[in-house]
Amino acid sequence: MTSSVNSDILLGVKARGSLVRDLIGIAVIVVAAVIGYLLFPDNLALLTRILAIALLVLALDLVTGYCGVATLGHAALFGAGAYAAGILSAHYGINDPFLMTLAGLVGGAASGLLCGAIMLRAHGLPQLVLSIALIHLFHELANKMSSWTGGSDGLAGIAPDPVFGMFEFDLYGQTAYVFGVALLLIVFLSLRILVRSPFGMLSRGIRQDKLRVRAMGASPSSVLIRMYVISGAVAGLGGALNAISTQVVALDTLSFTQSAEALVMLVLGGTGSLFGALTGTLIFMLFEDYVSAANPFHWLTMVGALLIAVVLFAPKGIYGTAADYFALRRKAKP
Amino acid sequence: MQTVFSIAIDALAYGMVLFVISIGLSVTMGLMRVVNLAHGAFAMIGGYIASYVARDLGLGYSVAVIAAVVLTIIIAIPIERFLYRRIYGAPELTQVLMTIGITFCVIGIANYVMGPTLKTIPLAGPLQGAANLGFRSISVHRLFAIVCGLVVALGLWFAIERTSFGVKVRASVDDAAMASALGVRTEVIYAISFAIAVGLAAFGGVVGAELLPVEPYYALRYMVTFLVVVSVGGAGSIPGALAACLLLGAIDTTGRYLMPEFGEFFFYLAVIAIICVFPRGLAGRAK
């Protein structure tokens, strides 16, 4: 009895704490966006790409961090969103950026449903292999249907209209950057609400103990497939942002390497936390830009060494380790 | 008829090379439950060493094969001791990350040391040319690959089914905790199996260099194929792996011959279909 009252109070405190953390998170994103704008005014394309990849990593976090499904094929959803947005503009002449974003969302969600339905049939290693097979299948398919996707040359001819008829997507990329920041903020807030909802709690429960969730009367597979669709929608938004900002969709967006890199970013930041996903993406992408510009030869070696180091010394990722450290310090001096 | 015959020979040779490389992965995965994405990297290291020994040092093909196997095992021992031992029993995601990290490192280092170009391994005299079967001639190297695959399959079958070491391996696969309680030193078994697996990978990398050319991205490009073979066959099963290799080799080779413009499309489609029907692999056992 007392414990339930206690946990109610705790939940109340926790809810207030999370609201504060939501606001802090938004503030941090906005401040980081402004700092990025001021520091690299000539390199907004890179920053916009970081935003798009951040959406992909957030989407991956939903299935890997919250539901415990390991996948090496999440770029399939990202690429599906990118191609959906790109094809709408290049083949149907619908250039409204909001409609293109919506198309990305729908395309991503649809491929999320497809991938989820296939992936969730297996567990463990076969599941991982299925995800790899899926990303290769998507890649080959996009390569093959070159009349629709442009094949290995990439899909060109995307020309998004100005946002609200006023702000053009120009060479400087300011519009795309602001558009991307706004998109990321909306997605971030919605996901914060989602992971705190009973549905989000249930998916965390599935990661910890699937059997028990089933015994409680919930169906893990229906939760997982819904989560996959949501994740696909988020990844699709990222893809659409990428298509709109670069005005081209390369075949690379559907590659295994892209999927593996997204996973590396997620783990670097810390799984099971939206802040972790954002941290990991930012650090990885800036690091990649810096190192591969300085010495492209050693880029892969560095990533590999970084991964090994994270697994050995910071298994919770950068954000998770830092959060633990501060939590410990707070506990130490009450 | 000619086409059917050459497809069959190529498919058989390709399947056998796949088998030699991935059987080690299958055994270690069944035994240690480690999702080892770095297996292809060891095959690649073997290929590089053989190429260096045979082409740059000018020693014979057989010396190259032996050097590749031995040196790759020597390289792998510290990696097993310091990196793999920490991820035995860890969650899958951790294992995937660690082994993909190792793969990236190996690719980067190979690119730096050996350069980004394709490396060839000059074949020994008797292996060049074609053998005449009367109605059709086939490349001797293909025959050699097929024979190697058969020898490896028989040897492994004998070692696992008929020797005391094999008994211990099977016991550790079934229940590692119980086996170690009964006095089997599972750590030693693990280390030896890992060394054998790496050695076989290196051997396969050398023998299959004609079919899977050695270059820095080898580790990443074929890693997927090896993993697919293991999971389609069912981890830890020799007949399962053999069946999976022959089946997937046939599908891949036929697809390449008849519909080259589709690339690996049919290969991956088949993989998805097989895993959906047999989620534990062709010869997988229920847990």
pLDDT in tens, A1-33: 344 444 444 455 556 677 888 888 888 888 888
Any CB–CB contact under 8 A between A123 and chain B?
Answer: yes
Q: Domain locations in chain A? A: 7-332
Any CB–CB contact under 8 A between B158 and chain A?
Answer: no
Any CB–CB contact under 8 A between A314 and chain B?
Answer: no
- Given A129, A132, A301, which is nearest B108 (Cβ)? A301
Q: How many CB atoms lie within 10 A of CB A324?
A: 13
d(CA A101, CA B263): 32
Using CB atoms and an 8 Å cut-off, which of residues 259-288 of chain A contact chain B? 260, 263-264, 267, 271
Output the pLDDT for position A78: 94
Output the pLDDT for position A2: 43
* Residue that is written with structure tokens 């957030």 in the block: A58
Contact assessment for residue A315 and residue A304, using Cβ atoms and an 8 Å cutoff: no
Output the pLDDT for position A4: 46
Q: Global pTM?
A: 0.85
Q: What residues of chain A lie within 8 A of the CB of B96, using their CB?
A: 70, 72, 128, 263
3-state DSSP call for residue A163? strand
Output the pLDDT for position A13: 52
Q: Domain locations in chain B? A: 22-218
d(CA B100, CA A72): 11
Q: Is the pLDDT of residue A87 over 50?
A: yes
* Highest mean predicted confidence (pLDDT) among B49-53, B125-129, B173-177, B211-215: B49-53
Q: Is the pLDDT of residue B286 over 50?
A: no
Residues 6+ apart with CB under 8 A from B284: B234, B235, B237, B240, B278
Bigger pLDDT: A119 vs A16: A119
3-state DSSP call for residue A122? coil
DSSP class of residue B139 equals E
pLDDT digits (tens, 9 = 90+) for B217-275: 888 878 878 888 888 887 777 888 888 888 888 888 888 888 777 767 888 888 888 88
Question: How far is Cα of residue A15 from the mean position of the Cα atoms in its chain?
Answer: 24
Task: State the Rg of chain B over Cα.
Answer: 19
Tokens of A52: 């798009």
Q: What residues of chain B lie within 8 A of the CB of A119, using their CB?
A: none
> Of B79, B100, B248, which to mutate for an interface test with A (greatest number of A Cβ within 10 Å)?
B100
> Of B26, B84, B275, B285, which to mutate for an interface test with A (greatest number of A Cβ within 10 Å)?
B275
Any CB–CB contact under 8 A between A118 and chain B?
Answer: yes
For residues A42-76, b (16+ Cβ closer than 10 Å) or e, as one string?
eebbebbbbbbbbbbbbbbbbbbbbbbbbbbbbbb
> In terms of Cα–Cα distance, which of A232, A204, A233 is closest to A218?
A204
Minimal Cα–Cα distance from B274 to chain A, Å?
A: 10
| Whether B272 and A299 lie within 8 Å, measured CB to CB | no
d(CA A252, CA A56): 14
CATH for A7-332 is 1.10.3470
| Whether B264 and A140 lie within 8 Å, measured CB to CB | yes
